[in-house]
Chain A
Amino acid sequence: MTVKYTKDHEWIRLDGDVATIGITNYAQEQLGDVVFVEVPEAGARFDAGAEAAVVESVKAASEVYAPLTGEIVEGNQALADDPSLVNSDPEGAGWFFKMKPDDLSQMDDMLDDVAYRTLLVDLD
């Protein structure tokens, strides 16, 4: 199982041929209290970099991008009932969507754990 990160503070966990995507702990801290999440429907297709989900805090709305090109397998419906899962468990129960990537090699250029943590150090 591989976990990678993007510069937009998303994490991608690959299980077989399905990638689970969410936002990092750093991202949820920056957002503050999440009050609304809109996730994509199963079957929807996105290109890498396209807006796939929306996350809103009391203060503002932000987009979550599809980090990979592919088809959505599942959106996390639990977030509709309890958006605060994004704050309490961003890299677990607060996942946004699962997708089947067309081309797994798109993950090669993403940040690994060490590279992402280095990025965070530079942001402080």
Chain B
Amino acid sequence: MADDTKTLKTTPLDALHREYGAKMVPFAGYSMPVQYKAGVLQEHLHTRSQAGLFDVSHMGQARLLGSKAAEAMETLVPGDIVGLGAGNMRYTLLTNDAGGILDDLMVTHCGDSLYIVVNAACKDADFAHMRAKLTDAKLEIIEDHALLALQGPKAAEVLARYAPAVRHMVFLTGQAVRINDIPCFITRSGYTGEDGYEISIPNKDADAFARLLLSEHEVMPIGLGARDSLRLEAGLCLYGNDIDTTTTPIEAALNWTIGKRRRAEGGFPGADVILGQIKDGTARKRVGLMPEGRAPARAGTEIQDMDGAAAGIVTSGGFGPTVDGPIAMGYLRTELAVPGTRVNLMVRGKAQPAEVVKPPFVKQNYVKD
């Protein structure tokens, strides 16, 4: 263990995590807090009722520069990037030629550039892929900024004490904001299903600002454990679990990320496969699952139909603290992927009945206007 930790990278908040009693674990090559003293359950519930501060500095941040950056980006993703207005942000997917998903990412139109946030585990591959394919645009990887997420119903009130302008932002927009004279880039977005912000802040200022936020009585530090249970309740995919190179956007029920123009024009990797699936359907679909008992069904759990035939697999599953019960996501044969259908989750060899539902499992509280 001691040798492993030596090779792990740390974020600018490493000392803060340890001071706050975090249990540190290796994650995507970084030493990251999985939970603090309060524990996953309290951290989860606190984020839904007050505000939680997450260190997501391990994620990849970059800017794509050039007058044709949006057009270039569209050659790699099925999302509408050219049509994204200045200051607006969009969830999209890097796809491969087979229609599989290389990563999911957020893209914000910043006027003179696109600001991109990708998953930590994929960032090196994503950026290499973008550099290799995007010869008309320049990719600048942002190494000197940390990324903090402040999430929850009190996030706006708390952050507005330092940056009054953030109150007026709506969900999925971004803007440059000065906080105590520090230039930051803030988006109203997150990965919890709650209202909140992600704050890109210079590495050297991140620790002090995180401490300021934590000094606010509404704010508690939140680890990766609660980040996972919050996103699962919100019905959001985890790359590597729910989506990967073997799943297409259509199988993953992410059709909504592909707008009308992109469907008509294509021009992204795997477009033939993906557009064909929009038209003809797929053999399997991602769904939400509500187990009827109390036993959580974890990723990898086999799903059977009520006749005992193979029906699919759970890709994310656990206990939802706000739901106060087990919840899961997984892939099912398309004819079973209908809300209300009953299936069996094979937990430790025993059939546990579950109902197919449409995620999210909790009400999303985004500020849309």
Contact = CB atoms under 8 A, between A and B. Distances in A.
Given A32-B39, A33-B39, A59 B294 contact: no
A35 B296 CA distance: 9
Contacts of B326: 36
Interface of B: 34-35, 39-42, 44, 225-226, 229, 294-296, 298, 318-319, 321, 326, 348
A36 B297 CA distance: 11
15 contacts: A32-B39, A32-B40, A33-B39, A33-B41, A33-B42, A36-B294, A36-B296, A38-B295, A56-B296, A58-B44, A58-B225, A58-B226, A60-B298, A61-B296, A61-B298
A57 B44 CA distance: 13
Nearest to A84: B41
Contacts of B225: 32, 58-59
A56 B42 CA distance: 16
A50 interface: no
Contacts of A42: none
Nearest to A81: B294
A80 B295 CA distance: 10
A36 B348 contact: no
Interface string A47-65: 0000000101111110000
Given A32-B225, A59-B40, A61-B298, 8 more contacts: A32-B40, A35-B296, A38-B295, A54-B348, A56-B295, A58-B319, A59-B225, A80-B294
Interface residues of A, number: 13
B229 A58 contact: yes
A58 B41 contact: yes
A20 B188 CA distance: 53
Nearest to A51: B348
B318 A59 contact: yes
A27 to B, nearest CB: 15
A35 B293 CA distance: 12
Contacts of A80: 294
Of A56, A60, A80, the most chain B CB neighbours within 10 A belong to A56
Contacts of B226: 58
B40 A36 contact: no
Nearest to A38: B295
A59 B44 contact: no
A60 B298 CA distance: 8
A36 B39 CA distance: 16
A54 to B, nearest CB: 7
Contacts of A59: 34, 40, 225, 318
